[in-house]
């Protein structure tokens, strides 16, 4: 028995055979249901190299985790060959956002604390390699990298192509532009000034989208606005 991970292959989780051991990675092709899409993506990769990778960045408590998950879910039904990579150790993964509404805050914090990690030398280089591997197989990789501008994240910058800023602090936006655009040479897709109020105000659409929008809080997320979905779709569907 093995679990398919697109970043690695099939990871053996149980076995009665001496030919493999638990934890061994077996290289495999993607599941048959995605074969046609994979062939189209391979053609695209021949022409452009790798598929795009979109970094979701911004200061803490702005809604990055919630936005990343909402964006992933909004795209998934029409574009099943995308992937959300959580490149941070703050323990708030997709499973937290998908818990029942009856789950208490205390239970959620307990789950998060049990899965809390820490920064190591290998952390960001490992995730950078995972992103590159995903870009060889997927049509889009969404990357959540946590809430601080850190030089340790340079390997992630090198593995990505685009970025989207979500910030509850207007004064923090400039630092993320400098980090992602000026240092990483990434292409800006959107800036979202996040709000605790249910609001959608468009400030500009070119050269990148800039809006005030909310709320990006677990349990209170509204539908991802089409004006935001459109530029995200453009970066990976324009050549398909």
Q: What is the pLDDT of residues 103-155, one digit of tens each?
A: 676 776 666 666 666 778 899 999 999 999 999 999 999 999 988 999 999 99
The CA-atom distances, in angstroms, between 6 and each of 82, 87, 143, 144, 148 are 11, 15, 15, 17, 27
State the DSSP H helix or E strand holding residue 198, giving kind and residue range, or none if neither: none
Is residue 103 domain-shared with residue 213, that is, in the same domain?
Answer: yes
Kindly state whether residues 108 and 218 are assigned to the same domain: yes
What pLDDT sits at residue 26? 86
Is the domain of 87 the same as that of 131?
yes
Give the pLDDT band of residue 102 (cuts 50, 70, 90). Answer: low
Same domain, 88 and 25: no
139 and 24, same structural domain? no
The mean per-residue pLDDT over the stretch 143-170 comes to: 94
**Residue percentage of the chain with pLDDT more than 70:** 78
Residues 14 and 66 in one domain: no
Residue 236 has pLDDT above 80, yes or no: yes
Closest CA to 63 of 233, 202, 224, 171: 224
Name the residue range of residue 51's domain: 34-237
Is a pLDDT exceeding 80 seen at residue 225?
yes
Query: In this structure, are 125 and 19 located in the same domain?
Result: no
Average pLDDT over residues 196-212: 94
Let me know whether 15 and 38 are in one domain: no
Judging by DSSP bridges, how do beta strands 2-5 and 9-12 pair with one another?
A: antiparallel
When pLDDT is cut at 50, 70 and 90, the band that residue 33 belongs to is very low
Number of domains in the chain: 2
Q: Report the pLDDT averaged over residues 39-64.
A: 74
CATH number of the domain that residue 133 is part of: 3.40.50
> Do the Cβ atoms of 87 and 143 come closer than 8 Å?
yes
Query: Which pLDDT does position 114 carry in this prediction?
Result: 67
- Separation of alpha carbons 162 and 98, rounded Å: 26
pLDDT at position 37? 41
Asked if pLDDT for residue 94 goes beyond 90, the answer is no
46 and 151 part of one domain: yes
Question: Using one digit for the tens of pLDDT, what is the confidence trace for 14-26?
Answer: 998 888 899 888 8
198 & 210 share domain: yes
Question: Where does the pLDDT of residue 46 fall: very low under 50, low under 70, confident under 90, or very high at 90 and above?
Answer: very low
pLDDT band, residue 36 (cuts 50/70/90)? very low
Which of the four pLDDT bands, split at 50, 70 and 90, describes residue 219? confident
The pLDDT value given to residue 45? 45
The stretch 39-53 carries a mean pLDDT of: 59
Predicted confidence band at 175 (pLDDT cuts at 50, 70, 90)?
Answer: very high
**Mean pLDDT over each residue of the chain, to the nearest integer:** 84
What DSSP element (H or E) covers 165?
A: strand 162-167
Residues 26 and 134 in one domain: no
Q: Judge if 10 and 64 occupy the same domain.
A: no
């Amino acid at each position: 028995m093995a679990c398919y991970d697109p970043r690695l292959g099939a990871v053996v989780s149980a076995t009665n055979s001496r030919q493999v051991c638990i934890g061994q990675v077996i290289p495999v092709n993607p599941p048959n249901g995605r074969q046609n899409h994979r062939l189209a993506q391979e053609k695209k990769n021949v022409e452009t190299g790798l598929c795009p990778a979109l970094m979701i960045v911004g200061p803490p408590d702005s809604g990055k985790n919630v936005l990343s998950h909402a964006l992933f879910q909004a795209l998934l039904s029409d574009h099943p060959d995308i992937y959300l990579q959580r490149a941070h150790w703050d323990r708030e993964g997709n499973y937290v956002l998908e818990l029942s509404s009856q789950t208490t805050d205390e239970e959620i914090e307990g789950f998060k604390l049990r899965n809390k990690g820490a920064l190591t030398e290998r952390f960001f280089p490992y995730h950078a390699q995972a992103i590159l591997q995903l870009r060889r197989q997927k049509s889009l990789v969404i990357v959540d990298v946590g809430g601080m501008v850190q030089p340790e994240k340079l390997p992630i910058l090198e593995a990505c192509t685009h970025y989207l800023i979500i910030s509850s602090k207007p004064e923090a936006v400039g630092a993320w532009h400098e980090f992602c655009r000026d240092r990483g040479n990434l292409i800006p897709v959107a800036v979202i000034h996040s709000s605790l109020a249910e609001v959608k105000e468009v400030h500009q659409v070119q050269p990148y989208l800039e809006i005030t929008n909310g709320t990006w809080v677990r349990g209170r997320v509204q539908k991802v606005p089409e004006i935001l979905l459109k530029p995200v779709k453009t970066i990976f569907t324009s050549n398909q």
